[in-house]
Structures are given as C-alpha cells and as structure tokens.
Structure 1
C-alpha cells in the first residue's frame, strides 16, 4: 500500500469514527432542549433572506438550517452523520418547511465553487478534525461577496472546559487532528480564513442554559445524549475508579459554572464576507 493510499484509509477510518460518535445518544435533544436559540441567532446575524442559497455545514439535525429555511431561504443542510439528517427531515416537516439534506464531509464538500450566498455552521464545523481543509472548503463554496457565519464554543467557556476535563479520560487524538475549541479562538479563525474574507465581525457571547437544576443533572444528561461524552465514558468503562473520577470532575465543572440553576455557555460569533 502506498503512502497516499495509507493516508486515505486512515482518513476514512477517522471519519467513520466521527460519524459513529455523533450517532451515539441523542444529540438532537441537546440542540433542541439545551441550546435551541443558537441556530436562530446565527441565521439572523448572517442576514439570511428569502431566496438566498444557504449551506449549513455540519448541520446535525438542523438547529440553524431549519430557521434559515423558515426565513424563506433555499437551504442545504449537510452533515457527516446520516442519522442526524434523518431526524432533521422529521423536525423540518413538523415545522412545515422543506430543505435539502445531504450527507457530506466538511473537509470535502460535494458542491460547486461559489454555489452559495451564505455558508454557515453552528457549533458544527469546529468538530471536523482538520481545520484548514474544512475552512478552505467553506470558503470555496461561498460566492464572492457572500456571507460566512460561524458560532463555535470557546476554549475558555463551559463547553471548551468540558472537552479539557474529558481529555485525560479519552483516547489520544489521531495524528494531525486539532482540538475543536480552537475554532472559538478569534486569532485561529482569522488565520484559517486569511485574506479570503473581509468585513470580519467577531465577538464573544453566551447562551443561557436553564436545563439542569443541579450539576448531576447535567452530567447524567450528557452521559446519555452527547456523543463525545458517551464515547469517553465507553473508553473508561472497564475501570470503575476512572468512571467515578470522571463523574466527579464533570460534577465539579458543572457546579463551577452554575449559579441559581443557570449556566452561561460562551461562544464566538463570527461573520464575514467572501472577498470578491
């Protein structure tokens, strides 16, 4: 096997792992019950209008894609995990709107150059393991003058700290894979987008989370519903001491970020225009 074919096989294996991880549990419940407003925030900030051609990358079950369709846009929701797309189809039908659902790798999008007026991702593209190819694909499919819109968890915020807390219990990342919360660092995103964009507006905001009355409620919900957390628990499942330690660390993290039953999860909101 050649070096190139070995690399291709390694990438296919990695993407299969990602696809399986996000199919674990019930991510649509996280999107719809914990952070339901984030998608609408991104759609509004992108200025999506009726008739716009919109791509939502790593759309999951449509947290941003469905609001864009409800705004009258012609929307394609793409994701690596077909199970999430199937749920999204159902949710869109319930809300009385129609959009296209496409299984697609964020690092190799099956769309033409400049095909979309708006290319966006709501806490999605950040989980593509190789950041630069994902950013290049996002830019490639956006037309000149079109809008790029991103919401990504920051490393310093609660979800970024969640990944830092789980890291000692997780298997080592594959060579070349980058930490998802880097997409929440403005400098990192500027480096990825470079001179291909103009009119960059980046600011940190928080989403108010009131879904968990106490820290243990957060932990149990994420153990049951959030693919990355489920995968980490599976990795240490044969070691009861490590499971208990992870339980304690997640409870402590949630307690640190909870006041009167309310959490504030920080994210970076970034919009820009594709340079012509």
Structure 2
C-alpha cells in the first residue's frame, strides 16, 4: 500500500473512531440540558437573518442549527455522526424548524466553494483532529464577504480543564491530531484563518451551568452522557485503580468550580468576514 493510501486509510479509521465516540452516551442531552444557551449566542453573534444560506459544521443535534433556522436562515446542519443528526431532525420538527441535515466530515466538506453566507460551528469543529484542514474547509465554503462564526471552549475554562484532567488517562492521540481546546485560543484561530478573513471580533464569555448541585452529579452525568468521557472510561475498564483516580480527579475539578450552586464555563466567541474580491 502506498504512503498516500496508508494515510487515507488511517484518516478513515480515525474518523470512524470519532463517529463512534460521539454516538456514545447521550450528547443531545448535554446540548439540551447543559449548554443549550450556546447555540443562540452564536446565531446572534453571526446576525443570521431571513434568507441567509447557513452551514453549521459539526452541528451535533442542532444546538446552533435549529436557532439559526428559527431566525430565518436556510440552514444545512452537517455532522460526522448520523445518530446525532437523527436526534436533531426530531428536535427540529418538535420546535417547528425546517432545515437540512447532512452527514459530512468537517475536514472534507461536500459543498462547492463560496456556497454559504454564514459558516458557523458551536463547540463542534474544534473536535476535528486536524485543525488547519478544518479551518481551510470552513473558509472555502463561505462566500466572499460572508460571516464565519466559531464558539469554542477555552483551555483555561472548565471544559478545557476537564480535557486536561482526562488526558493522562486517555490513549495517546494519533500523529498530527491537535487538542480541541486550542480553538479556544485567539492566536491559534487567527493563525488558522490567516489573511483570508477580515473584521475579526473576539469575545471571551461564560455560560452559567446550574444543573449540578454536587461535584459527583457532574462526574456521573458526563460519565453517562458525554462521548469523550465515556471513551476514556472504557479505556480504563480493566484498571479499577486508575478508574477511581479519574473519578476523584473529575470530582475535585467540579468541586473547585462549583460556587453558589453553579459553575461558569468559559468559551471563546469569534466572528469574522471572509475576504476576497467580492467582499464589499
């Protein structure tokens, strides 16, 4: 097998692993019960309006896609994991939102150049393993003068700290894969987008999470519902000592973040305009 064929096969295997991971547990419950406010925040920042052609990359079950459709956008929700799209279709119907759902790899989008007025991702594209490839694609499919909007967990915020806490218990990442919370660093995203965008606006914000009254409630919910956490615990299935150590580490992290019955989870919200000859 040639080196190129080897690379393609490795990429297919990696994407299959990601697809399986995000189908574990119940990510739609996380989106619906814990971080529901993020999607509308991104849609508002992107100023989605009637008739806009909108692509939501790594849309999951529609945390941002459905609000964008309700705001009047002609929305395509794309995601690697068909199980999440299936839930999204049901939720959209229940909320009276009309949009399209399409299985797609964020690093190889099946859309023509310059198709969309708005290209956005809400704590989604940050989990694509090859950051530059994903950034190149989201820029490519945005029309000149169109809006790019990205909402990502910061490394310093609670979810970034959670990934740092879990890292010692996870298998090593494949060659070339980059940590998701890097998308929460302004300089990293600016470097990914480069001079292909203008009018970059960056805001650091927090979402208030009031669902967990005790640290153990957070730990147990994420162990049951959040794919990346479930995958790491499965990696430890034959090691009760390390499982207990991770239990303790996540409990301690949540305990340090809980104040007045809730937590503040920090994210980076970045919007920009796609540059180009027709960007007026």
Settle same-fold status: TM greater than 0.5.
yes
- Kindly report the root-mean-square deviation, in angstroms, between the aligned alpha carbons of the 2 structures: 0.4
Matched, 1:153 2:150: no
Name 1:254's counterpart in structure 2: 254
User: Structure 1: where are the runs of 5+ without partners?
Assistant: none
Shift of 1:203: 1.4
Instruction: For 2:48 and 2:159, locate their aligned partners in 1 and report how far apart those are by CA, in whole Å.
Output: 27
Give the secondary-structure state (helix, strand or coil) at the position aligned to 1:14.
helix
Instruction: For 2:4 and 2:112, locate their aligned partners in 1 and report how far apart those are by CA, in whole Å.
Output: 25
Shift of 1:125: 0.2
Name 1:193's counterpart in structure 2: 193
Name 1:205's counterpart in structure 2: 205
Q: Give CA deviations for 1:29-71 in whole Å, capped at 9, x if unaligned.
A: 0001001110000000000000000000000000000000001
Matched, 1:220 2:205: no
Runs (4+) off by over 2 Å: none
Q: Give CA deviations for 1:164-190 in whole Å, capped at 9, x if unaligned.
A: 000000000000000000000000000
- 1:1-276 alignment, distance < 5 Å: 1-276=1-276
Instruction: For 2:204 and 2:96, locate their aligned partners in 1 and report how far apart those are by CA, in whole Å.
Output: 33
Give the secondary-structure state (helix, strand or coil) at the position aligned to 2:205.
strand
TM-score (normalizing by structure 1): 1.00
Instruction: For 2:104 and 2:60, locate their aligned partners in 1 and report how far apart those are by CA, in whole Å.
Output: 11
Instruction: For 2:72 and 2:146, locate their aligned partners in 1 and report how far apart those are by CA, in whole Å.
Output: 17
Query: How many residue pairs align between the two structures?
Result: 276
Give the secondary-structure state (helix, strand or coil) at the position aligned to 2:143.
strand
Give the secondary-structure state (helix, strand or coil) at the position aligned to 1:167.
helix
Shift of 1:261: 1.5
Instruction: For 2:151 and 2:182, locate their aligned partners in 1 and report how far apart those are by CA, in whole Å.
Output: 12
Shift of 1:98: 1.1
Instruction: For 2:211 and 2:30, locate their aligned partners in 1 and report how far apart those are by CA, in whole Å.
Output: 10
User: Structure 2: where are the runs of 5+ without partners?
Assistant: none
Instruction: For 1:194 and 1:258, locate their aligned partners in 2 and report how far apart those are by CA, in whole Å.
Output: 37
Give the secondary-structure state (helix, strand or coil) at the position aligned to 1:151.
strand
Instruction: For 1:274 and 1:101, locate their aligned partners in 2 and report how far apart those are by CA, in whole Å.
Output: 24
Instruction: For 2:76 and 2:108, locate their aligned partners in 1 and report how far apart those are by CA, in whole Å.
Output: 15
